Every structure is written in C-alpha cells, then in structure tokens.
Amino acid sequence: MLNIEKEILLDALTWIIRAVPLRPNIQALEGIVIKTNSDNTITLSAYNNELYMENTIPVKKIISEETIIVPGKLLFEMIKTIPSSEIEIKKDEKLNKFIISAKKTRFTISSIPLEEYPQVLAKGEIIGNIESEELFAAIAKTYNASNHDETVPVLASIKMTFLENKVQYDSTDRFRLAKAIGSWENLNNEEHEVLVGSRAINELSKAFKDKGKLQIALKKGNNGKNTTIAFSTKNRLIILPLLNVEKFPPIETLFTNKHNVVVTVNARQLLECLYRASIVSVRNRVMLEYKDNEIRITAGDDKDIASTSEVIPASIIGESQKVIYNITYLQDGITPVNSENINIKMNEPRKPNEIVAINDKRKEIDNYRYLIVPISS
C-alpha cells in the first residue's frame, strides 16, 4: 500500500489523534481514515462530531491507491513504539488485515468497514485569510467568558462577526461578557456572522501552533444558512460545525461610555494580589475597595480559617466604591490583557463593571472589552 518515514507519520498522527473521540457514539469514529493519493501523499483524517481534522503528508512510495480506516489510538501506539525509521503498510489478503512492519518489527491491525463511517463535515467556499496569532489571541480573550457546560448552546459559543476588514469575537455566560476585535483579509467583500462552539474553536490554538495565515471557508446548507467553518494551511484542515440556535444575546446595549468611577491600575500587580486572595477566598469571592487612590483587596474574614488584606496604588476618578467579585471571573477578565495598565470602570457597585486595556498614554485600546457582574453582598 505505502512506504513512509516514521517521524513524518508519527507527527501527523500526533496532530490528528485529538479528533479521535475517547467514547465514540458510533464505534467507527474510533478510526483514522487513511487515503493514498496519486501524487505520493496520504491524507489522514478523523472526526468526533465536534470537529473534523485532516492532514496530508508525503510518503516515500505509493504501492496502491485506496482508502482504509483503522483504529486510531491503536495505530498511534504501534507507530510510536516501532524502532525503525521507515515503515511499510500493506494488506494481507489472506488474513484480511493490514500489516505494519519495519525491519524485524511487525504488527497486524484490522480495518473498519468504510460503509460504517459516518458522513463528515464539508469545507465550503473560501471567504478570506487570517493571521493565526491574531485569531488565537482573540479566542483566548473570549473563551473563558463562555459557558463551558453547554447546557445552553448559545452561551457555550463564540460569535464571530466578519466585517469588511475586522472580525469581532463575542462571548457571554450571563455573568460576564468578553469582546475582542481583530483583522482579516476579506476575499469576497461580504460580511458574515457565525456561532461556533467555544470548546471546539479553542482546539484551534492547540492544533495550529505554527505562525502564519490560515484560510477560512464557510459551507452553506440547503436553507442558505452557514453550517460549517473551516480553517486550513497548505496541508492541514480543521472543520467545525456551526451552531443552529437562537440569536446571540444583544450585548452591545450593555456597554456604555458613561462611568461615574474610573480606576487605573497595573494589571500584573492586581493579578498577583488576586492570586494570593484566591488562596483564602471563601465561595470564590473577593472584595475590592476603591478609595483614596488605592485598591484594598480582601478575601476571607476573621470568622474563617484564613484571610488576607492587601493594598496597591491606583488612580481613581470618582467616588469611593466597595465591590464584591467572583475572583475567577475577575482574573479571567484581566489575564488576556497585554498592556501594562487597565481601566476598571463602573457606575454603581452592583452594576456591570468594565475592564479595558490602556496604552502608555492612558488611552483605551479598543480591541478588547470585558464586562463583569459583581456579586450582591
């Protein structure tokens, strides 16, 4: 069937194994599809209902063109342990199995019938290109604000709005809201709005580690609505299904440009304090008191086993405030900021607070905004 270098095959399997489900609802999905091509390449693919992955790699020799499906994790373990640098895969017609061999090492593995494998996701039409680093940064900024238990699908998603030359990413779990802005290369001068499962799209940053451009494609269904979104490089492809659910919450109305209190603070210094507070925090709560150009961070109290109180400098415009936050939600909002300082803006202690990055001239950077709903005392 084929001859291939072990390292090339192992690298491809390592990349694609993440799409093989641990407990597939259809047994055939435990398999990796191997398709030999006439140009001395093979295409490996796997699918788990949340994403489809495909990797095309060169081989030394194609003996015959065909498509087989073999148990993915078993194949991965076999290839990983073979000591030789070159591997041969061929079919044993008598046993109706495939032989994986290298010098004196020999494995046999049964194939999965092609007809048992379900229909996979389709790529669709190319709409543009995006820099991988920019895409992954935006996903990192919005992923944590989505609901990860997926009981309400629309809240377990990231909304991607492809505009003329910008992409807006939005996510919310009703207790916080994150918005990030990035750029892209629009190839058809059209605008698109899609909902992607946040857990699935978060896999992109793990899968495409190389810097460079990713090609974006959308597939329309019979009803004219987009059904999949695909991201690809020259030899790798990931396709994600789009959510067909109710409309995303109208989040734009929650942002306001008028705030009674604006607190400017060093982001890293505040995060370090929050980490220490999380050690003794009760019910994941922390209180921040904004007063006299200082922030007092307290967690726990005298009735608890442990407590902490810490003061850091800040610039405060407006009246003093005491606000109780979910400490994890607050950390999630500050962590993605890549500037030295942030503004924390509010009107009332119980109304949503906004976190936004600022530059060296204390001007707000508009590519990331985060809203967090305080905890009622």
Domain positions in the chain: 2-116, 125-250, 255-372
* Residue 356 exposed, middle or buried by CB count within 10 Å (0-12, 13-18, 19+): buried
Phi, psi at 125, each rounded to 5° = -90, 135
Neighbours of 62 (CB within 10 A): 18
Half-sphere exposure of 135 (CA within 13 A, CB side): 28
The model's pLDDT over 199-213, given as tens digits with 9 standing for 90+, comes to 999 988 888 877 799
Q: How confident is the model at residue 246, as a pLDDT? A: 66
Which amino acid is present at 84? S
Instruction: List, for the chain, all residue ranges whose pLDDT scores fall below the cut of 50.
Output: none
Q: How far is CA 132 from CA 204, 209, 286, in A?
A: 9, 8, 36
Token pair for residue 233? 């490089």
Rounded to whole angstroms, how far apart are CA atoms 43 and 2? 12
Q: How confident is the model at residue 50, as a pLDDT? A: 87
Our measurement of the distance from residue 37's CA atom to the centroid of its chain's CA atoms, rounded to an integer in Å, reads: 31
Q: How confident is the model at residue 94, as a pLDDT? A: 82
At 89 the three-state DSSP class reads: strand
- The superfamily CATH assigns to domain 2-116 is DNA Polymerase III, subunit A, domain 2 (3.10.150.10)
- Strands laid side by side in the 31-36 sheet: 67-71, 31-36, 41-47, 52-58, 236-241, 226-232, 213-220, 125-131, 185-186
At 15 the three-state DSSP class reads: helix
User: What beta strand segments (E) does 37-184 contain?
Assistant: 41-47, 52-58, 61-62, 67-71, 86-92, 97-102, 105-109, 125-131, 157-162, 166-172, 176-183
| CATH number, domain 125-250 | 3.10.150.10
Q: How confident is the model at residue 177, as a pLDDT? A: 96
Q: What angle do CA 106, 107, 111 make, to 5 degrees?
A: 145
Token pair for residue 48? 């788990």
| CATH number, domain 255-372 | 3.10.150.10
Rounded to whole angstroms, how far apart are CA atoms 102 and 151? 48
CB 177 within 8 A of CB 198: no
At 361 the three-state DSSP class reads: coil
- DSSP 8-state class, residue 132: H
